[in-house]
Amino acid sequence: MLRRLIWALVKAALILAVLAVLGVLAYAYVGPMLFPDDFAAPATEVTKPVTLGIGQ
């Protein structure tokens, strides 16, 4: 009885894990078409001074 219950829990966990992976893959492929702002690169320009230590 207990062995059967544990097997059912393991099987349910595996099914949920597979569904989660499929959901993430679907979001990765379909997401840019449905939510373009979430996948857009930042459009702000960043300028920072750089000091090169040449000849030191």
The mean per-residue pLDDT over the stretch 37-51 comes to: 86
Amino acid 54: pLDDT: 83
Structure tokens at 29: 């492929």
Distance CA 25, CA 30 (A): 9
Q: Which amino acid is at 23?
A: G
Q: What is the pLDDT of residues 4-43, one digit of tens each?
A: 999 999 999 999 999 999 999 998 899 889 888 888 887 8
The domain limits of the chain are 2-31
pLDDT interval class at 56 (50, 70, 90): low
Residue located via tokens 């702002």: 37
Structure tokens at 9: 């829990």
- What is Dmax (Cα atoms) for the chain? 77
Residue located via tokens 């300028």: 47
Instruction: Judge if pTM exceeds 0.75.
Output: no
